[in-house]
Amino acid sequence: MGDLALVIIFNHRFDENIEKLVDIYAARFSNIFFLIPFYEGNDPRVIPVYESSIYFQGYVNQAFGQLILNPFKHYLFVADDLILNPRINEDNYKSFFLVDDDTAFIKELVDLHHVNKYWVRLEEAIQYNPNSMINRIDLKNLLPQYAEAARCFSAQGLTVRDNIKDFKVVYKKPELRGLFFSGLLSYFVSMLRYYKHRLLFEKNNGFRLYYPLVGANSDIFLIPGNIFRQFSHLCGIFSSTDLFVELALPTALVLSAKKIVTEKEINNRGMAIKGAEAINQFEGEYQSDLNYFLSHFPETSLFVHPIKLSRWHF
């Protein structure tokens, strides 16, 4: 049966990509599952999920009951537009990700105290307060207590209890857009809000997180079977409280994993193609031919992302 489940996450309904992905992976992975939002078909490999794609940690929690029916040593979750290096298979994946049965993998762990440029989700992070009701959910006894969470963070070398000292990574000064009344009013309101937070920042010598959180690109992650239940449980809690996936999923991992390996610690890195122009150029290099792409895959790349399958042909 194999020790690994490959779980492919769809952000949206692209049922036509199921067979394309089967063609890419079936020879290398015996156990393939698809998490597809609002799926109505009959493919037994598909687990329908019901959650916004910006909280897709909730997909993991909703699928847990079916994924655990035949327990695996690892669950490898990948986005449907992320293509793994063709050399990776269910027999050798541990050597590529440098994991053992107790080790998880995620592309990165971004310490929120050391972010060096503006990220819109940092405001969400500093406002996430488990000591208050979120979506009418009392979190105080659901999440690990702060001291336990801080211990988990420290074990992964992540900062806790310090303030975020750079205001501009959390808030961007509003720009005036249009001279009509609605544009001027919006600008005025935004400026008032901006300076309100600026005063609070200066008064408190920075922003302190109510609860330890960490960031990460979450298009690929590998979960050991022995922590899958706890990880899934935390993903469900963070989903129900509308915490953005790139905060929620890595935080759930840090709070449940014994050991985490990131991309910087392994031999191969993923290839991220950023921007429409770069994507078009990459597709042109391979004539948008999937067979040609797979046979000439960048050898040292762990994966390539994104590959929009609707724009490629076999």
What is the structure's pLDDT at 25? 98
- The whole-number average pLDDT for the span 10-30 is 96
The token duo for 203 is 């008064």
What is the enclosing helix (H) or strand (E) of 250?
A: helix 245-256
Does 24 lie in the same domain as 102? yes
Q: For residue 256, which phi and psi values (nearest 5 degrees)?
A: -125, -25
DSSP-derived secondary structure letter, 134: B
Does 220 lie in the same domain as 92? yes
Other CB atoms within 10 Å distance of the CB of residue 310: 10
- The whole-number average pLDDT for the span 60-66 is 97
Q: For residue range 140-163, list pLDDT tens digits in order.
A: 889 999 999 999 999 999 999 899
Q: Rounded to an integer, what distance in angstroms lies between the CA atom of residue 216 and that of residue 193?
A: 28
Nearest one of 27, 30, 65, 29 to 47, comparing CA atoms: 65
65 pLDDT tier (thresholds 50, 70, 90): very high
Q: Which residues pair with 112 in a beta bridge?
A: none
Q: What percent of the chain has pLDDT over 90?
A: 89
Does 95 lie in the same domain as 27? yes
Omega before 306 within 30 of 0, i.e. cis:
yes
Does 245 lie in the same domain as 116? no
Residues 6+ apart with CB under 8 A from 169: 115, 116, 117, 118, 119, 122
Q: Which residues pair with 48 in a beta bridge?
A: 36
Does 230 lie in the same domain as 193? no
What is the structure's pLDDT at 186? 86
Does 236 lie in the same domain as 188? no
Q: Rounded to an integer, what distance in angstroms lies between the CA atom of residue 271 and that of residue 300?
A: 9
Tell me the three state secondary structure of residue 130.
coil
Domain with 102 in it: what CATH number?
A: 3.90.550.10
Residues 6+ apart with CB under 8 A from 28: 86, 88, 89, 90
Q: Rounded to an integer, what distance in angstroms lies between the CA atom of residue 206 and that of residue 199?
A: 10
- Report the number of distinct structural domains present in the chain: 3
Does 105 lie in the same domain as 13? yes
Does 80 lie in the same domain as 224? yes
What is the structure's pLDDT at 181? 66
Does 130 lie in the same domain as 101? no
The string of DSSP codes covering 274-300 is: -SHHHHHHHHHHTTTBHHHHHHT--TT
What is the structure's pLDDT at 179? 61
217 pLDDT tier (thresholds 50, 70, 90): very high
Tell whether the model's pLDDT for residue 1 goes beyond 90: no
Does 19 lie in the same domain as 57? yes
Q: For residue range 166-181, list pLDDT tens digits in order.
A: 999 999 998 877 666 6
Does 105 lie in the same domain as 220? yes
Q: Rounded to an integer, what distance in angstroms lies between the CA atom of residue 246 and that of residue 244?
A: 6
What is the structure's pLDDT at 178? 65
Residues 6+ apart with CB under 8 A from 265: 98
Residues 6+ apart with CB under 8 A from 101: 73, 74, 224, 225, 226
Tell whether the model's pLDDT for residue 128 goes beyond 70: yes
Which residue range is the domain that position 251 belongs to?
4-109+216-311
What is the structure's pLDDT at 183? 74
Does 251 lie in the same domain as 118? no
